[in-house]
Amino acid sequence: MRIATWNVNSLRARLDRVAEFLQRHEVDVLALQETKVQDDKFPAERFAELGYEIAFHGLNQWNGVAIASRVGLEDVTVAFPDQPGWGDEPVVEARALGATVGGQPRADGSATPRIRLWSLYVPNGREIGHPHMDYKVGWLDTLAGHAGTWAGEDLPLALVGDFNVAPLDTDVWDIAAFEGHTHVTEPERAAFQGFLDAGLVDVVRPHTEPDTFTYWDYQQLRFPKRQGMRIDFVLGSQPFADRVTGAFVDREERKGKGASDHAPVVVDLAIDLPTGTRDTP
């Protein structure tokens, strides 16, 4: 079973690329972030043509999350409990979408495990000292608190998407260049650590090199200079991690005309559990 996550930075602008990516990599489940499309304009028919069910949540031309699955999609949840809002009159933005995926056979007839999956687009924080930074850290802390509970439930859990945090110095191209900037501050990294303390596992890092990045700014030729950041993650409960057989970042999708500034992160799961492990705690 193959699961991918991708901040597409405007779905309608990159719909053909997304369709080609799904087919080229035979992706079973794709979580999308920063779709930038409100629900009544979402291109759901394109996913249906490709054989995918789709759940989506978008309020305006900003933010937006979605989950596409060709192996089952049910129990869709918009936002997580107590999700913080933003603004003078706080609005709960379109940044979190949960669904249970899997449980149906693929085209080759193989059974797929059922997974509780969340597509997440964490607030950026904007700059140190900005109220948006408090919003970001509070958003992460609230989600991590729920993750600890969810990780102990029956279904394997995966929190995937753009976390807008680089938890290690090696997750940025030059840590000195980030002095005084967001994404690498102690409060942000502590908030990210909260997910690991809750029992989740970064399932991609063991399968990639330390300088494997997932995001490169459009400015100053960051991508050809290999000046990127690792800010997109797949964090799984132990039953989810036990199934992971491999993972990679598709840098090819950051190349060419019309690319997103993020690359997809792809994780492969075993259909059958390794000996001595089980799905439930």
66, part of any domain: yes
pLDDT tens, residue by residue, 76-123: 999 999 999 999 899 999 999 999 999 998 888 888 999 999 999 999
pLDDT tens, residue by residue, 202-223: 999 999 999 999 999 999 899 9
178, part of any domain: yes
CB 269 within 8 Å of CB 245: yes
In total, how many domains does the chain have?
A: 1
Structure tokens at 1: 């079973």
171, part of any domain: yes
pLDDT on residue 281: 36
Is 262 labeled as ligand-binding?
A: yes
Question: Quick one: which of 211, 208, 169 has its CA closest to 186?
Answer: 169
279, part of any domain: no
pLDDT on residue 272: 78
Q: Where are the alpha helices (DSSP H) in the chain?
A: 15-25, 44-49, 131-150, 186-197, 238-241
The separation between CA 84 and the C-alpha centre of its own chain, rounded to angstroms, equals 19
Average pLDDT over residues 132-149: 97
275, part of any domain: no
Domain hosting 246: range is 2-269
CA distances from 11 to 14, 30, 106, 127, 274 (A): 5, 13, 25, 26, 37
CA distance 55 to 65: 9
Is 34 labeled as ligand-binding?
A: yes
pLDDT on residue 67: 98
Please give the positions annotated as active site: 121, 162, 262
pLDDT on residue 207: 98
Is 261 labeled as ligand-binding?
A: yes
Domain of 129, CATH number, reads: 3.60.10.10
Is 207 labeled as ligand-binding?
A: no
Is 162 labeled as ligand-binding?
A: yes
CA distances from 160 to 117, 232, 276 (A): 7, 8, 26
Is 164 labeled as ligand-binding?
A: yes
The confidence band for 185, taking pLDDT boundaries of 50, 70 and 90, is very high
The confidence band for 271, taking pLDDT boundaries of 50, 70 and 90, is confident
164, part of any domain: yes
79, part of any domain: yes
